[in-house]
Structure 1
Amino acid sequence: MDQRTKVLLLLVFIKFFLIAAETDQNDAAALRALGSSWENTPSNWVGFDPCGGWVGIECINSRVTSITLTNMNLTGQLSGDIGSLSELQTLDLSSNKLMTGPLPQAIGNLKNLSSLCLTGCGFSGPIPNGIGSLQQLLYLALTSNRFSGPIPNSIGNLSNLYYLDLTDNQLSGSIPVSSGTIPGLDMLLQTRHFHLGKNQLSGTIPPQLFSSNMNAIHVLFDNNNLSGIIPSSLGLVQTLEVVRLDRNSLNGSVPSNISNLANLHELALSNNSLTGPMPNLTGMNLLNYLDMGNNSFDISEVPPWLSSLQSLTTLMMEHTQLEGPIPANLFSLPNLQIVELSNNHLNGTLNIGTTYSNLLQSIDLQNNSITNFDPITGGNNITILLEGNPTCENTDQKTESYCNSSQSSSPNLMSRNNCLQVSCSSDQVASPKCKCAYPYKGTLFFRALSSLDLGNSSYYVAVEESLMQTFQSYDLPVDSVSLSNPTIDSFGYLGLSLQVFPSGDDRFNKTGITMIGYVLNNLSFRPPRLFGPYFLIASIYDYYAGNSEFDRSNKKVSSGIIIGAAVGGSILLLLLVLAGVYAYHQKKRAKRATEQNNPFANWDVNMGSGGVPQLKGARRFSYEELKKYTNNFSEANGIGSGGYGKVYRGTLSTGKMIAIKRAQRDSMQGGHEFKTEIELLSRVHHKNLVILEGFCFEQAEQMLVYEHVPNGTVMDSLSGKSRIRLDWMGRLNVAIGTARGLVYLHEHANPPIIHRDIKSSNILLDESLNAKVADFGLSKPKVDSERNYVTTQVKGTLGYMDPEYYMTQQLTEKSDVYSFGVLLLELITARRPIERGKHIVKEVRDAMDKTQKLYNLHEILDPPIGSGTTLKGLEKFVDLAMRCVEELGAKRPTMGEVVKEIENIMQLSGLNSNAESASTSETFEEASKGHSHHPYSNDGFDYSGSFPAPR
């Protein structure tokens, strides 16, 4: 090894020890855990100090505040370790297509997060409800993933949100709006961008969604399955600039007050089933793109108000029942470029006149009834299409280009490469400045268009110039930009191939790639107004420059450093001694941290040494035991999966059946939290509570072992999934069993326990269809006898959550009472707590009429519950439920009082309240055939509209 190399290594060594302890230990540990679960992380993600220069990581005062790793070809899942980075403000993993799996619930712990960008990844599953906890969030872009399920109502809690983009996923269900204490998107008054296109959303557009207090500029609901009418409340949002409702199943008339949107630039309502008169858009002086095509409006003449739209560039009204002649002054609009009026009933003579717009490019009037046309001479080269009109039946005109669409020239794809003589090596591309390089590539998709002239390169030059100005303002190493190959896809989006060329070298380093991606994905680049909102799908970049920081250091080694080599040996020896001391202390420190994080680290099973959890009745299983009981965790023994992990059926050596919940990595708790939970569960023993048989805490595993409860959940029964149909007596039995389990937790457990997640999917049915309360993952002990509440972060399931707890963050036993009241209403209606945007409490309250039999609730009662003659005590049952769901906890009964009232109702109904079973319309043997959903699976959804429960 020569002296020069020794000096370089010495400098690196010195730098390592100077900065080795800079990053907060918890943040560093979280990043290392994230990195270990990914492939293709940057090569310099090594060592103990991410703040010391890891690619994509930015820090303030030793805390990690930004992770920007766009287009890194990262592979893997985002684990729950992300939730430990409490100071994180920016998370951008966009354009990593192999980042897959669900988003962890722990993302809701990032209370300082202001920007979350996951555009162009492969994430799937539901959007976690915890996103609604990110009160500082300004920018939320989950574009082009595979997210499914409903849009969480909790997003409505993001009062600071500026940009919401959920485009191009598989989201379903209705657009959520607020109801009572349940939030919704109508609460996002400061949000400017509502991008929900290219999903599977259904139902109507809620009128409540829009109001005069909103500041939205973009409402993009295109390419969904939305139905019903366009709400007139849309006309109240005066700030709107772009509205896309095209490619849905909307019907009815367009509200007349839509013309109040004086700032609108683009309006697209095409490809729906709209009827009634064509809306009068007089006064929309900024409108430049209008697409009303493929609807069933009333037959009418070409609207005269069109000639007042002085900013109009594109008019799309094909297949809209237009008739009569075309007014010549239509073509005189000064900015008009594209006119599409095909497949209508237009007739008479086509007269373009002599004062037509000098920007006019194409007029499509195919399949109308036009009888005459005098071709214009000179002037612009305008494409005119008249095929399918009587005028083209004339023998003399059949050969004219305007009578034969096949002869019309298609738009030219851009080819502005002036470097055809430049020869580049394989994979390299000649830049606009004729330099061979490896460009950053991708496709920009624009979702709002003011012109469809794909061949006009001047428009794209403006975008290129705007891009260059943006890159230069961020001091990025960009030499030039090229846009090409414009195409319009089936969703009406304009795609432009993008190439960004490096300056100073023939390729980018990883930092350059991440910064380019960040600029293009976080609204830093604002395209010219003609193009509107966009998103980027980037290609994998495989041509990174080497370790640029090391290379620069290598190039800057001076003769002064070479002279220092004379004393390098002694300094190196000193540093090695220091390194040994440092490593010794780090080892001890790591050991202490391990013991702190793992309370069982020093637990000797035979000796029962310090750190042993105080268990009552539950045993510690070894990993090998559970592996044996589940046949090596075979798929055949799998009976469920969800946010916590997978659930397996097992059989003990005694023949007893067990259910094993095996946590996946991103949902594992800290050691102390896991110890607390199993201690808590091991102390509760009641016939109406699921029994914890034991646990496993070794080989980086966290597993809970429960008794096996065979008959599914109450949710399964009410929805028909389990084929177990509970009649009135059976539902009363469920109510009394659940109530008694809660009385035990509130009054007899030591310390008292608040369950915090009572819902139909957490109540299980045993062999005799008796209720057992399960899933204590959110339970909270009341350890302070001086207070009647616990101050804690709000957690629970939407629809069941106590509004008082939600507002005050003060948890009491009365919070469980509220959830239990919702469960009672669910038992008699079999309706989801939140259905079609309405809360079950409000639905029952609105329908109730105490002067009528059964309180006039016949229409919302679940039919299998029985007829009116058999529902003895139902009125008292409803009264009890409504008392349980009073908004103020002080007005609700205790669970002890609830038990007494249900016992009275059961006696009134002729049912023994001490009975051990309830009648059903099917036997257990019949019902269990084909039953596949296991009660422990907790698949992340609840019965109240499929919202994932926070973990």
Structure 2
Amino acid sequence: MANTTIERRPRPSSAPTITLSCYFLIHLLLWSSSAPSPVSSQGAAAAGADAERRALLQMKAAWGNPQSLTSWNSSSSPCADAWTGVECGEDGSVTGISLVNQDIYGDVPAATCDLRNLSSLNLYNNFVGGEFPTALYNCSGLRFLNLSQNLFVGAIPADVHRLSRLEVLDLSYNNFSGDVPVALGRITGLRRLQLERNLLNGTFPKELGGLAKLESLSLGGNPFKPMALPADFGNLGSLQFLWVGEANLVGEIPESLGNLAQLQRLDLSMNNLKGGIPGRIWQLQQLRVLYLYDNHLSGRIAAAGTFSATNLTMIDLSMNQLSGPIPEEFAKQRNLSILFLYINHLSGPIPSGLAGIPTLYDIRLFNNNLTGVLPAELGKKSKLLSLEVCGNRLSGELPGNLCAGGTLNTLVVFNNKFTGDLPKSLGDCKSLQNLQVYGNDFSGDVPAGIWTLPILTVVLMHGNSLSGELPRTLPRNLSRMDIENNKFSGRLPSRAPSLKVLRGSNNMFSGEIPADLTGSGDTKPAAPSHDRRPRDLFVLFPVLGGVLFIAVLLLGFYLVRKFWRGKTGGGISSWKLTSFQTSLDFSKIICGLTADNLVGRGGLGQVYRVQLGDDGSGEVIAVKQISNKKLRLKLGKKFENDVKVLGSIRHANIAKLLCYVSCADSKLLVYEYVENGSLHEWLHGERRDSLMAGGGSMAQQGFLDWPARLSIAVGTARGLCYIHHDCSPSVVHRNVKSSNILLDGDLNPKVADFGLARMLLRSRELQSFSAVAGSLPYMAPECAYSRNVNEKVDVYSFGVVLLELTTGRRANDGGGGEGSLADWAWRHFQEDNSVAEAVDERVGGPLYMEEMAVVLRLGIVCTGTLPSTRPSMEEVLQVLLRCSQAHGGCGGEPDPAQVAENKGNCRERQPPDAGD
């Protein structure tokens, strides 16, 4: 067998190549099928943009297609074309909606959560309402939610924690009610929680103290049930801002708040807290603002050795019962700007180091028991704006540098023991507007420059030993000057361009009383002290005029009575008298219904001013005559019942209904006569020259400064609050307007015409509506479509009155176009115009601007479209009282003893009625 070589053939090399190639191709196919192609990616993006556009357009439609969202249309793209308020991410998807101040009405649409990447929703300051929008639970990525300053009502849902990713939740300035739910304590990522200024009337949970990331917590301005501040809040280690003011807190301030090392602002004001201020509060190094005012705190401000804070900028501990000295450590706060410690029981000297704080501009220490002298350097190193230390036992001279910074506006030091001359530097203080130094022992001449200061408005110097002569012309803006019981001499000023009140008795003036003073409204000039002839003539003419007036009145009354006796004969017996608060001879009332006594005519009837007594010296009454033609006969009994309810009301700010006289043809409502006319006449320059005929010595000019307007607002609110909250059953006025607010000789308001609108509207006659036609600008919107209204209609009307008081405009003044004053005020507010542009320029100014701004905004809130958004009169009164305190605490107007006692119901707050 031949040797043969068996050749082993190699394996085909192509086999592994095929295997690897197939594997690679399969893998490539699989990868390419899962990865988006440029074409499919663009298609998905377009589909997403279409879905977002549809969602946004549905939201716009749900809100009634507001003009502010005209950029939202089907022919453009939300992100590419920058739709109003739409925020987009880098991928071109909608991530946020911010529609601040866009006049949006309606609910939060469910379509909102069709925006799958939405993380932020801001609807601040619109008209969005309804209950809490639980449809937002579907917005799984929502981190920022701001629904503040809208019209939401109802409870905050117990399952609100379903918004689990929220970091910011702002529901402030709405009408939410009930409890703050425990569920909020489960949203562990919350950094900011704002629930202030709602109607939350339940409780708030201690579980909020477990929110470790919380930096800001606002619960203030809610009518919670009385409860203590939870000690658990001391566990909020990241908290920088805590506001639980006006929240009905009771008990003591928890010591645990001293654990809040990051806290910068603490506001527990306007509660019922008692006990002392925890010492650890004064050890918070980051604390800048501390507001504990208007509580019942007692004891020393800070115990020795407990004070180590150094960054405080604002301290307000006023209206408490704190005692002991002002801590010297306050002088170490190099950034301190305001220091309010008024209405306490503090004693000892004012720390001299306060004068060295360069940022300190507002010091209010009035109504304490402070002694010693004012720091000699006060005002030298800071731009002092206001110094109010009245009602203490301070002595020595006023420092000469108070106006060194050129900004001093208010200097109020009355009722102390100051001596010496007034600093000459005050004569160069062109910023000075309010100077009150009365009730001290100042002497010497008043610096001449004071009488040339350009914005000086108030000068109260009475009860000192000041001397010298007054200038020939008083400052052009000076409206009130009291220099009684001093040693001024010479002649009275011949010109006083703006003076409304001048009191100057018990001085050494001589000469005649200038005509510019005797004819300038409220001005009450001092009589000369030793040249008596001008005064005698000044008194003689009114006496002669009075005698002549009485003679004419007697003759007229005799003829009228004779006429009526002949006309009525025995018919007088057909009248029926129902007396409520006094006994009157109704025959004399009836005889007084003459054309000469007619002082007013309107849809609700005719008004007569009737003076009882045959000699013309009897009581003056106001008689409103209502024809039975305006009342259906079957309503007669109801009318009488209503009248009896009104006759039982007794309040110092309600015009008394003295009696009710009726017969077949007519009904007479007899009220006390309020001699100074209506608020409408005073505000809008319509006071009759004969308004004061028959008594009184009030102003003929009819101008009201801001303190008077604020006082009238407070008094009117007291009256309305009383009938709403302290009468059983409660009474709704239904026709509140400035012409139904009457002013007595001291400008105290008395609300008139209670319930008459309801009585007449019951008859369903056309005349009933014409009777209140002049009240249309005051009428709440719901009056147009419903007779079933509540006391919130009065709140709306009173809001219009507040707008009149602050702006000086009429209720039907829509700003040059259609609409009312309420409409104009809302527009002005929405357009972010300044308060200074809105207020009455005759009474506006730096001294009162803050108060006027508060009252103006209060009027706007009271005129809210929905009744549920308006506050109660009790809440309105509280706001006005706080304004009155802030204004009058050192201004000499209200009684300081009453300032700290403003809590309680309307009955407790009403002033005593001397007539009861």
If asked which structure has higher relative contact order (CA below 8 Å, sep 6+), I would say 1
Q: TM-score, normalised by structure 1?
A: 0.41
TM-score w.r.t. the length of structure 2 is 0.42
Larger Rg: 2
